[in-house]
Structure 1
Amino acid sequence: MTSPTASPLATSTLRTSAMGITASLIGWFIVVEIVSGILQGYYIPLFSDIVLELGIRDADVNWFEAGQLLLSAIVVPILAKLGDMFGHKKILLLAAILTALASWGLVFADSFWSFLLFWSLQGFYVVWLPLEIALIFERGREQNRGVSLTRRAAGLLVVGLEAGAIIGALAAGRVYAATGDLALTLMVPAIAVTLVAVVIWVFVPESTPSGARSIDTLGTVILAWGLLLVTGALAWMRLIGELDLGGGAWWGVAGLLALGVALLAVFVWYELRQQNPIIDIRVLIRPEMWPVQATAFLIGISLLGAQGPLSTYAGTDPALGYGLGLDASERSYVIGLYLVSLIVGAVIFSLTSRRISPRLMLIAAALLVGVGYTLFLPFHLELWQVLLNLSIAGIGCGALVGAMPAAAAAAAPLGHTGEASGMTNTTKTIGGAFSSAVFGVVLAAGVGTVAGHTASSLGGYITVWAICAAGGFLAALLLLVVPKVAFADAPPA
């Protein structure tokens, strides 16, 4: 009797076909991430013009970031879980459509509150990358190469993301200069997101849903309120530090933060008793999972929280004995170099992920972040010193941005890939919110220490750099406890 197994030629043909589909999928996702980067870089050069158009103050721009931060912290874990349940493509398409509608809303917004509403709703794009990672991982899992494929793809997606941010930042000023009309200028990202929604609808295949159809409604409500209170308290903390409000405001922040933490503790207790939780706590406490989530939080400190202090330090008058005295145009070049270093880190991660243990790659990247910010402590007076330090930290951050969602997906059991990769984004966002609030308070505390100046003190900046360095080194230590065989492809059957 002949064996029912497929011939080697047929097996090879199927494998080649599957690899071709996956490569095509990654290519479309790179396009999606370029647009995601455009959204993150396009509006920044236009903020001064948006302030004038809306008739608001420069300080009011902080509310845009706070609103989007609040929404993203809440929706990412929920949408990622829904992707596992109903199919990652469906939720990715839904998030793209909502982002497109919000982007078009910004074009026609004519008041502070309408602009704040649509800006916050535009934050749905933050779930794109976790859902893309889940789709690639599920596609690769069918070939017993999901982990290695996802690692390489994640690096390429981050390259697309950072390239898009650079393209957006460079294009915005030129489009506005050419048109002289803010509404026409804001149509560019809206059109780009609309086209991306069509790309997802037409070219992205669906993943296999987990089969679960019941939604943990009460758990979702508890999680949403807990994250809302925590991130809201952090946003208020930063504003209080910037506006130098009284002691009563600090008591209000402390109360909100305590209530939010208490609700999150209740959420953990409740989820451990549910059959289909919105976030499976048992998955998050696995030995190969919790260090990745903790690393995402710690890297969010330097990746998201330190950019503001970097910009203000670069613009500080060197007559104070520190600072670089760069104007707005020159500061944009510093930020541009940082983005390029993120791309370099993502490319290095993608190219070396097949040859080096992914666990060692994560540890090395975290160490680079720690080393880069440690070098700021003695070397920060010259431009070349700041650029060198920033490049070292940026390479580490770039590698980690690509590595963390892939590592989380690899550590998750079947049916939890979207949830796990999405949580890295949530913890990174909360880490960025926490550090941004703390850094704002630290830097505000040193304002005016030099007579006649409003610059923050050097001690404040050193504190910021020390916290970023400690976060990188602590992340490396946590990753040492991850099993050595974690994040690797399963051996062939």
Structure 2
Amino acid sequence: MLALSGIIVALMHTVMIPLVPALPELLGTSAADASWAITATLLAAAVATPMLGRLGDMYGKRRMVLVSLAMLVVGSLVCALSHSLAPMVVGRTLQGLAAGVIPLGISIMRDELPPERLAGATALMSASLGVGSALGLPAAALLADVADWHVLFWVAVGLGTLATVLVWTLVPESRQRTGGRFDLPGAVGLSIALLCLLLAVSKGADWGWSSRLTLGLFAGAAVVLTVWGWWELRSRQPLVDLRTSARRQVLLTNIASVAFGFAMFAVSLVIPQIVQLPEATGHGLGGSMLVAGLVMAPSGLVMMVMAPVSARISRAMGAKVTLMVGAVVVAFGYGLALVLMSSTWGLVTVSCVVGAGIGLGYGAMPTLVMGAVPQSETAAANSLNTLMRSIGTSTSSAVAGVVLAHMTLSVGTTQLPSEAGFQTVLGIGAAAALVALTIAAFLPGRPRSVARS
């Protein structure tokens, strides 16, 4: 039930993709303003994830999962009733606030499952982020083609309600609590820093990377993070325990997660565009959004299949090895893409290989994190790891956008991404996977066991 809830939450990150070209007309606004319907979800998820993790440790993880799913349902309802930009942005923000479900679910599993079942369960829950994103694209494209676009959000209301009822009925509340007071100054400081950083990353291409606004946001993020770190180190009950986060195993896993998240998202940006580009470009396949979604969909199923494999490798050789193998598989997948990007079957193969690597790597990350933190900090630590992955995917989107905007060719009067541009993005994705491999090599050979209390 927890993994299903994670998949449903992840679906919300892709449900808008088929609507992006038509959003200005649908919402009666400009293309630049319409992009806030996407950006709002990203920002809300980044801010909410670490706070919900800490609140889960303090007041109950199941309770925070239910709160998150309730926000998903309310946000989807607002979007389903929207006909203009403002309510749509509000609804998408509420949907983004549900992003904490996945790290909270992993933390519940640590509290409730016997050790022999934990690795496989957490691997599936961790992979649900990729599974939902991969399966959501074709489903959303199909619904957008055959029905009014509001149906996408009515379906989200139904799925979110189902998940809420199932979690309420079948998932036990963890008895592990830390108590104490919530670090409100720490939450405000981290939120401001993340908003500055991710706004600069996600909107820098529109505003100009050398513009005063973009540079000011980057500088503001650096200053606020410095002050925030000073506060967290002196707080008795910090939002994020930086001393625990600085432990070698946790720190290196989080850094590797940024690189892995970058590598994961690069293929999601390249393959749909290649499928939909006109054949006149010489490298486009001239397919529809639905076809692009169907090409990506098998990777989600592969991630699910790889979850138990990830657990077996971790039990036999350690989660470090699993993460390294996953990084190698992802890099190999990008290498295949350079020679198989001219056919639909080739792109399906690439998406499946990369999906297998992601399933392995994402399955290992919670094991590595939980092996180095006390049980009382499980939700906060997993939430921070999830945030690191999100920063990686956001950065990947920005970098790919810059590369493809500058490496173009002319088709009539239109400038479209060139084959060399796609090859460059694929090469950067492979390099990111190899960076994750290098970082993982410095992890301890086996996760250090930390007391459960």
Match of 1:459 in 2: 420
Counterpart of 2:215 in 1: which secondary structure? helix
Match of 1:155 in 2: 123
Which segments of 5 or more consecutive residues in structure 1 lack a partner in the other structure? 1-27
Counterpart of 1:360 in 2: which secondary structure? helix
Counterpart of 1:415 in 2: which secondary structure? helix
CA contact (8 A) 1:300 1:430 kept: yes
CA contact (8 A) 1:306 1:436 kept: no
Equivalences for 1:405-444 in 2 at 5 Å? 405-444=366-405
User: Shift of residue 125 of structure 1?
Assistant: 2.2
Deviations 1:333-361 (A, max 9, x none): 22223333333333422454433422211
Match of 2:271 in 1: 310
Tell me, in whole angstroms, the C-alpha distance in 1 between the residues paired with 2:128 and 2:403: 34
2:51 to 35, 59, 78: 78
Change (3 A) 1:63 1:309: farther
Count of matched residue positions in the alignment of Structure 1 and Structure 2: 452
User: Shift of residue 139 of structure 1?
Assistant: 1.9
Match of 1:33 in 2: 6
2:181 to 203, 214, 218: 214
User: Shift of residue 162 of structure 1?
Assistant: 5.6
Tell me, in whole angstroms, the C-alpha distance in 1 between the residues paired with 2:143 and 2:167: 27
Tell me, in whole angstroms, the C-alpha distance in 2 between the residues paired with 1:32 and 1:410: 24
User: Shift of residue 100 of structure 1?
Assistant: 1.4
Change (3 A) 1:329 1:191: closer
Match of 2:292 in 1: 331
User: Shift of residue 132 of structure 1?
Assistant: 0.7
Change (3 A) 1:322 1:175: closer
Q: What is the RMSD computed on CA atoms of the aligned residues?
A: 2.8
TM-score normalised to the size of structure 2?
Answer: 0.90
CA contact (8 A) 1:82 1:91 kept: yes
User: Shift of residue 458 of structure 1?
Assistant: 3.0
Of the structure 1 ranges 332-341 and 52-61, higher mean CA displacement relative to structure 2 is found in 52-61
User: Shift of residue 206 of structure 1?
Assistant: 1.6
Change (3 A) 1:132 1:360: same
Tell me, in whole angstroms, the C-alpha distance in 1 between the residues paired with 2:427 and 2:83: 42
2:109 to 122, 136, 148: 136
Tell me, in whole angstroms, the C-alpha distance in 2 between the residues paired with 1:420 and 1:122: 22
Corresponding letter in the other structure for 1:232: L
Match of 1:126 in 2: 99
Corresponding letter in the other structure for 1:361: T
Corresponding letter in the other structure for 1:199: L
Change (3 A) 1:284 1:236: same
Equivalences for 1:71-470 in 2 at 5 Å? 71-140=44-113, 143=114, 145=115, 149-157=117-125, 168-169=136-137, 171-172=139-140, 180-240=147-207, 250-377=211-338, 379-448=340-409, 452-470=413-431
Counterpart of 1:91 in 2: which secondary structure? helix
Corresponding letter in the other structure for 1:189: A
Tell me, in whole angstroms, the C-alpha distance in 2 between the residues paired with 1:32 and 1:164: 10
CA contact (8 A) 2:313 2:321 kept: no
Change (3 A) 1:289 1:205: same
Tell me, in whole angstroms, the C-alpha distance in 2 between the residues paired with 1:301 and 1:65: 18
User: Shift of residue 456 of structure 1?
Assistant: 1.6
Tell me, in whole angstroms, the C-alpha distance in 1 between the residues paired with 2:151 and 2:275: 32
CA contact (8 A) 2:131 2:299 kept: no
User: Shift of residue 113 of structure 1?
Assistant: 1.3
Change (3 A) 1:167 1:476: closer
1:472 to 410, 427, 433: 433
Tell me, in whole angstroms, the C-alpha distance in 2 between the residues paired with 1:173 and 1:435: 23
Tell me, in whole angstroms, the C-alpha distance in 1 between the residues paired with 2:229 and 2:127: 35
Counterpart of 1:454 in 2: which secondary structure? strand
Change (3 A) 1:305 1:292: same
Change (3 A) 1:485 1:173: closer
User: Shift of residue 366 of structure 1?
Assistant: 1.2
Find the structure with the greater CA-based Rg: 1
Tell me, in whole angstroms, the C-alpha distance in 1 between the residues paired with 2:15 and 2:8: 10
Change (3 A) 1:62 1:335: farther
Tell me, in whole angstroms, the C-alpha distance in 2 between the residues paired with 1:324 and 1:182: 26
User: Shift of residue 256 of structure 1?
Assistant: 1.0
CA contact (8 A) 1:158 1:401 kept: yes
Tell me, in whole angstroms, the C-alpha distance in 1 between the residues paired with 2:127 and 2:396: 25
Corresponding letter in the other structure for 1:78: M
User: Shift of residue 330 of structure 1?
Assistant: 2.6
CA contact (8 A) 1:100 1:194 kept: yes
Corresponding letter in the other structure for 2:225: L
Equivalences for 1:7-22 in 2 at 5 Å? none
**What percentage of residue pairs aligned between the two structures are identical?**
26
Tell me, in whole angstroms, the C-alpha distance in 2 between the residues paired with 1:304 and 1:424: 16
Corresponding letter in the other structure for 1:187: W
Tell me, in whole angstroms, the C-alpha distance in 1 between the residues paired with 2:224 and 2:83: 37
Counterpart of 1:455 in 2: which secondary structure? strand
User: Shift of residue 185 of structure 1?
Assistant: 5.0
